[in-house]
Structure 1
């Protein structure tokens, strides 16, 4: 069954809204505070894989600053979701396993948002759409 022009446009606007709102939310609440207060975050970041606080924080900044910016822009969207999902799963399963659903609700909601973006893709209102070949679908 072929979607009408309006249905396709509405779907693409919905995917744009999902990408931009989820990306900016993660960037604003988690990414920018880590980036702007690096030294304080270095003292309090959990290091579940014993990589060292500095490397762990840099990986978190990559996932919470660079990846959301790529998602908002619509560049390598599906690929950019993977580090975010990894950080969220590590936080929920390894760093904070004692959290109740209520305590971890923000992380669970972010997990739902970014896994939805991973599954659905960026839509045609993304820079990815201008790429050719395999890059268009990443």
Structure 2
């Protein structure tokens, strides 16, 4: 492969790495623990909008399990970023507003990561490229 061809695919490889590593990290650290220990998590989850612990936890699981899986696969990537960004913003700006930047650095880094994916899109190494029309850009 010529250098020009390698460089042509470098941004897409970078986006693939960002999507897969970020999505799996969020899934492993936040999503799966909530999903696999649902009952215990019901007692721990904050409910800042008074939706009820069950609904709040279900929404968090949607954002931290299903959405990262879509992002890793490269399906509806920009749409899948929105619930993740929402959960992160609520956590950082509502639930843990008292945290310093140092205390919330993991959340801020995830916010930066998934905002980047949202802005840049999934790249050419994603299943999105196989979807018709407007879904390709979602």
TM-score band (shorter)? over 0.9
CA distance in 2: counterparts of 1:8 and 1:129, whole angstroms = 17
Equivalent residue, structure 2, for 1:55 = 55
Q: Where do residues 1-138 of structure 1 align in structure 2 (5 Å cutoff)?
A: 4-138=4-138
Q: Which runs of 5+ in 2 are unaligned?
A: none
Name the SS of the counterpart of 1:119 in structure 2: helix
TM-score by length of 1: 0.96
CA distance in 2: counterparts of 1:55 and 1:129, whole angstroms = 33
CA distance in 1: counterparts of 2:94 and 2:74, whole angstroms = 30
CA distance in 1: counterparts of 2:120 and 2:9, whole angstroms = 15
Cα offset for 1:8? 2.5
Give the count of matched residue pairs.
Answer: 135
The Cα RMSD (Å) is 0.7
- Point out 4+ residue stretches in structure 1 off by more than 3 angstroms: none
TM-score by length of 2: 0.96
CA distance in 1: counterparts of 2:17 and 2:89, whole angstroms = 24
